[in-house]
Amino acid sequence: PTPGSGAAAQVDTFIKENKVAVFSKSWCPFCDKVKQLFKTNGIAYGALELDQVEDGPALQDALKERTGQSTVPNVFVNGEHVGGCDDTLQAHSSGKLASLLNGGGGDAQHDYDVVVVGGGSGGLACSKEAAVQGARVAVCDFVKPSPQGTTWGLGGTCVNVGCIPKKLMHQAALLGEAAEDAQKFGWSINTPTHDWEKLVTAVQSHIGSLDWGYRVQLREKRVTYLNAYAQFVDEHTLKTVDKKGKEKTITSRYIVLATGGRPRLPDIPGAREYGISSDDIFSLPHSPGKTLIVGASYIALECAGFLRGLGLDVTVMVRSILLRGFDQQMANLVGEHLEKRGVKFIRQCVPTELQLIEEGPPRRVKVLAKTTDGEVVEGEYNTVLFAIGRDACTDNIGLDKVGVQLSPKDGKVVCTPDEKSTVSNIYAIGDVVSGKPELTPVAIQAGRLLARRLVNDASILTDYANVATTVFTPMEYGCIGLSEEDAIAQFGEDDIEVYHQYFTALEHTVAQRDENGSYAKLVCCISQEYKVVGFHIVAPNAGEITQGYAVAMKLGARKWDFDATIGIHPTVSENFTTMNVTKKSGAESKSSGC
């Protein structure tokens, strides 16, 4: 405030200039609590510390005169008095804060401020956050059945047919392995047998509770949920059709596409009729039996890992390489571990036809395939699972009608770094965006930050660099940043130093499993003071380990930051703090002791 302009006028100006105005005192814990509430919800606010300005007492008197409240914090939203700390927290939980932020009506021209198409990881995050920020929000979510007729509820891929059931089945497989190992640790366990139906029931029941939780959250945050398929009429208008065929038209200032993707099936005879995909496997009512998995990326190898871990006969048909895009040394290690556990691989081969031998369950299907040498390969399986990639859901929603440009490379939405499409009020997040990692936390982060920018003039963009990820095969593979190949391509071989270490995880010693089968590698850029540009680990619990190091990578850690860190002994992760063998040295990188 400008001195001498009158306390009441100064208070007035501050309230006018700040959508959220907090009159505070720098030492006051209640003021901190209120500021923390705004910070954690990404709501921009202005704070005036009355103990740090000359005419603080006069301003406080003016506030008392205006509101009857003599204490701090004293909070105003969009010019309206909210009150003190308790009042603000209460307004937040009741939704009053959101409606005050929204200015009591928003854009009168449209039914909503934000409509999100797709209620998966990104869509739910975006719609809930936009509502918290004060917008009038609706989310449309509709699941088209898979060719095998599988369908599911709210929450999208991750919860229903992706990360969650996959990780639970991975855990089921690890438990089988642990039961074997337990005997070496002195437990008497009869040979464990596995009940597929019981696993599917337990997994589906957990998913059911998550679906229900999402509905409750949407209701609590006052997001309108439309269980309906949405299509563009024009850039502000959507036609929605529910499962009874009932149509509705809604308009919105902003429309966010979060429609994700669905598994691709090959265009070969019998694939749609007798093949399944990841959309079907997690709710398959009977054991898949002898299984062929076609594809060699994340989904293929993860499914191979857990199905084999559950005791099934599993074969993976690989067209070219394992885990395209990943560090190939690590990808091959993942493959070796799968092979050691009994997964069979048919390399350089693609299926050409599926023929039904006998209806099931489980079915008997004959698979005809061809290698790159032209050799014909035949096999009989109960289940053929295609994991050959996913197609973005950008078809049949009228994007051409409104001028949203799709990339010819992957059919996904072309976006600017702030997730804006080629139409100024239409945005896209998650798997449907061209050139971005297809991962749940990426979709969530993009959705949340976009909502803050759309509703409340925030400016933080999603940082898509150095996103950590893990392939949940029996020996997990976690990585952050560049593969060794990409680092060499980017910086040149002379500028890259690779530190590496093979080791035996302590839990595998007594279990007599995977001697020197774990491996860790740091790819460093010499001219950038040995900045770690690639982090890779194949080991038990690699997912948990990698998540922690992602923070170090975000902070630009150098090799000596890893060296200066004292490890936790005895852990797998401590290997990153003691690495001193470089690949260029050619020295032994297998460990032999503690």
Q: Which does 146 bind (CB under 5 to 8 A by kind): ligand FAD, ligand NDP, none?
A: none
Segment interacting with ligand FAD, rule: CB under 6 A, options 161-169, 375-383, 460-468, 546-554:
161-169
Q: Can residue 174 be called a binding residue for ligand FAD (CB under 6 A)?
A: no
Stretch that binds ligand FAD, among 207-215, 349-357, 408-416, 433-441 (CB under 6 A): 433-441
Residue 230 sits in the site that holds ligand NDP (CB under 6 A) = no
Beta bridge mates, 531: 525, 558
- How far is residue 112's CA from residue 272's CA, in Å, rounded to a whole number? 39
Q: Minimum CB separation from ligand FAD for residue 58, in Å?
A: 52
Site for ligand FAD in 388-407 (CB under 6 A): 393, 397
Binding mask 309-348 for ligand NDP (x = CB under 6 A): ----------xxx--x------------------------
In angstroms, give the least distance from the CB of 434 to ligand NDP: 13
**Cα separation, 397 vs 486, whole angstroms:** 37
Contact 292, 385 (CB under 8 A): yes
C-alpha–C-alpha distance, residues 226 and 322, integer Å: 40
d(CA 169, CA 175) in angstroms, rounded, equals 10
Cβ neighbours of 269 (radius 10 Å) = 14
Whichever of 83 and 288 has its CB closer to ligand NDP, that residue is: 288
As a whole number of angstroms, the distance between CA 306 and CA 338 comes to 10
Q: At its nearest, how many Å lie between ligand NDP and the CB of residue 126?
A: 19
Closest contact distance (angstroms) between CB of 194 and ligand NDP is 22
> Residues 211, 139, 102, CA angle at the centre, nearest 5°?
120
Nearer CB in complex with ligand NDP: 15/471: 471
- Does 142 sit near ligand FAD (CB under 6 A)? yes
Q: Which amino acid does the sequence have at 510?
A: V
Distance CA 301, CA 19 (A): 51
Cα–Cα distance, 238 to 290 (Å, whole number): 45
Stretch that binds ligand NDP, among 51-59, 66-74, 173-181, 470-478 (CB under 6 A): 470-478
Identified binder of ligand FAD from the candidate list 18, 102, 121, 315, rule CB under 6 A: 121
Whether residue 256 contacts residue 427, with contact meaning beta carbons closer than 8 Å, is answered with: yes
Instruction: List the Cα angle 244/250/253 in 5-degree steps.
Output: 150
Binding residues for ligand FAD restricted to 277-296, rule: CB under 6 A = 278
What gap in Å lies between CA 524 and CA 538, rounded to an integer?
18
The tokens for 312 are 């099934």
| Nearest to 411, CA basis, from 388, 442, 433, 438 | 433
Question: Catalytic residue at 92?
Answer: no
By CB under 6 A, how many residues form the interface with ligand FAD?
Answer: 35
Contact letters (x/-) for ligand NDP, 438-467, by CB under 6 A?
A: xx----------------------------
- Least CB distance to ligand FAD at residue 439 (A): 4
- Cα separations in angstroms, 29 against 26, 49, 52: 8, 13, 16
Strands 469-471 and 476-481: antiparallel
163 lines the binding site for ligand FAD (CB under 6 A): yes
Residues numbered 366 to 395 that lie near ligand NDP (CB under 6 A) are 387-390
Q: How far is the CB of 388 from ligand NDP (least distance, A)?
A: 4
H helices of 118-241, where? 121-132, 156-161, 163-184, 196-220
CB 430 within 8 A of CB 157: no
What is the binding site for ligand NDP (CB under 6 A)?
266, 294-300, 302, 319-321, 324, 350, 387-390, 437-439, 469-472
What is the binding site for ligand FAD (CB under 6 A)?
117-123, 140-143, 156-158, 162-163, 166, 229-230, 258-260, 278, 299, 393, 397, 430-432, 438-441, 443, 472
List active site positions. Answer: 569
